Homo-oligomer: A and B are copies of this chain.
Amino acid sequence: MSVYFETVKTQNNARAGVIHTPHGDILTPVFAPVGTQATVKAVLPRDLREIGASLVLSNTYHLFLRPGSDLVAEMGGLHRFMRWDQPILTDSGGFQVFSLAKINRIDDDGVTFRSHIDGSARRLTPEIATGIQHQLGADIIMCFDQCPPPTDYATAAAAVDRTSAWAARCHQAHGTDTAQALFGIQQGGVFEELRARSSDALLKLDFPGYAVGGLAVGESKPQMYATLESCVPMLPADKPRYLMGVGAPDDLAQGVLRGIDMFDCVLPTRIARHGAVFTFDGTLNMGNLAHARDESPIDPTCDCLCCQNFSRAYIRHLIKARELLAHTLLSIHNLRFLIRHMEALRAAILAGDGQLQAYVDSFLLRYLRG
């Protein structure tokens, strides 16, 4: 098996580990920057390396529509196309066909939808989504799933059964003769019995990793944390556990405490393009007048290119002048902030008993007060 997980140390439910992949090791817990369209928006691969990114996520739905997975395959695959020689994960497109596309029809076989780009009719099935991900060539690929609103029982139950059936088909389509690892996605909304039903079905297929899907899509934070407490222990301890689409700094800490190893989210780069930055004292809007004559960096303790070079005054000027460099600098800072946060969480797990909870408590106290 080309992708496999090793636990280095545990602390209660939390784990520090390593995911080995054909493109190098991923130290966990890990936050993966999102490069939706084969680029982390406004950030060069060189700068991603410099801030310590290891795993990058890209979106099957977007690449399928543009430039097309056949083109990416012809250009040597996604690593070569976007010049990221470290691990890549692609999602299955399941989330986007329900959130972005104009859906025409969902049936047990798959989804027919219209492209949000040109309105063209497209179809994704478990087999097609797996085939596209083979063309893209990411190290970790995902099962095609149905991600419903999290708090409606009947919808969530139907989505679990469909996702289970689709997981079996993805598993079959994926085969065994590949260095790519196919992960299963647990669904079930906020309902413990549905999460259990979903896990039972997936575990029979013995995936090399499992995602918790269908969270951070409308439920409250306490609901999300409670769901994680019940659903994460359903997943095998010797496989990586991936909480999809979660990237708020407090949620990362809460997820790690509950046994999650992998996260991804557009949040850090999206808020950057709106002038907002993460700090240990909460989120700041760098466009505020308060920063106009402030010579200090966003965070004097931060080692990123932005904080090592530029003042808040300059950054505010770039935002007000609508300069593209603001997007680049704030994206780099926000990604580095989350990666430092993950490094600190990992170090706290490795440091031994009690250190993780202590770090999280002190982080949350300051961050949530900000």
Residues of A within 8 A of B (CB): 37-39, 41-46, 62, 66-67, 71, 74-76, 81-83, 292-293, 295, 305, 309-311, 313-314, 316-318, 320-321, 323-325, 327-328
Q: Supply 19 A–B pairs (Cβ within 8 Å), ascending by A.
A: A37-B318, A37-B321, A38-B314, A38-B317, A39-B325, A41-B325, A43-B325, A44-B305, A44-B328, A46-B305, A62-B321, A67-B320, A71-B292, A75-B313, A76-B295, A81-B313, A83-B309, A83-B314, A324-B328
Taken together as a complex, chains A and B put the C-alpha atoms of A180 and B278 apart, in Å, by: 40
| Chain B proximity of A308: nearest CB distance (Å) | 10
Q: What are the residues of chain B within 8 A of A75 when measuring CB–CB?
A: 293, 295, 311, 313-314
Contacts beyond the supplied A71-B292, A83-B309: 13 A-B pairs with Cβ under 8 Å: A38-B314, A39-B325, A42-B328, A44-B325, A45-B309, A46-B305, A62-B321, A66-B320, A67-B321, A75-B295, A83-B310, A324-B327, A328-B328
Q: How many copies does the complex hold?
A: 2
Which of A45, A309, A313, A324 has the most CB atoms of chain B within a 10 A radius of its CB? Answer: A324
Residues of B within 8 A of A46 (CB): 305
Report whether A67 and B292 are in contact in the complex, using a CB–CB cutoff of 8 Å: yes
Within the complex, what minimum Cβ distance (angstroms) separates A264 from chain B? 18
Which chain B residues border A310 with CB–CB below 8 Å? 83
CA distance A70 to B75 in the complex (A): 51
**Cβ B83 vs Cβ A325 within 8 A:** no
Residue numbers in B under 8 Å from A292 (CB-CB)? 67, 71
Q: How far is the CB of A335 from chain B (nearest CB, A)?
A: 14
Q: Which of B309, B321, B327, B328 contacts A66 (CB under 8 A)?
A: B321
Contact: B37 with A67, CB < 8 Å? no
A70 to nearest B CB, angstroms?
10
Closest B residue to A308 by beta carbon equals B83
Q: How far is the CB of A136 from chain B (nearest CB, A)?
A: 13
Chain B residue nearest to A76 (CB atoms) is B295
| Nearest CB in chain B to that of A38: its residue | B317
Are B325 and A42 closer than 8 Å at their CB atoms? Answer: yes
Closest 10 CB pairs of A and B: A42-B324, A67-B317, A37-B321, A39-B325, A83-B309, A39-B323, A75-B313, A81-B314, A324-B327, A324-B324
Q: How far is the CA of A42 from the CA of B325 in the complex (A)?
A: 5
Asked, given contacts A310-B83, A314-B82, whether A293 binds B37 with beta carbons under 8 Å apart, the answer is no
How far apart are the CA atoms of A114 and B14 in the complex, in Å? 61
Report the separation of the CA atoms of residues A66 and B292 in the bound assembly, to the nearest whole angstrom: 11
A201 to chain B, nearest CB (A): 36
A38 to B76, CA, bound (A): 39
For residue A325, give the distance in angstroms from its CB to the closest CB of chain B: 5
**Complex contacts, A45 vs chain B, CB 8 Å:** 309
**Chain B nearest CB: distance from A93 CB in Å?**
16
CA separation between A59 and B67, bound complex, in Å? 39
Q: How far is the CB of A92 from chain B (nearest CB, A)?
A: 20
Q: How far is the CA of A267 from the CA of B317 in the complex (A)?
A: 23
* A83 CB → nearest B CB, Å: 5
* Complex Cα spacing A42 to B326, Å: 9
A317 partner, pick from B37, B305, B321, B327, beta carbons under 8 A: B37
Query: Which of B42, B44, B313 touches A67 (beta carbons < 8 Å)?
Result: B313
A71 to chain B: which residues have CB within 8 Å?
292-293, 313, 317
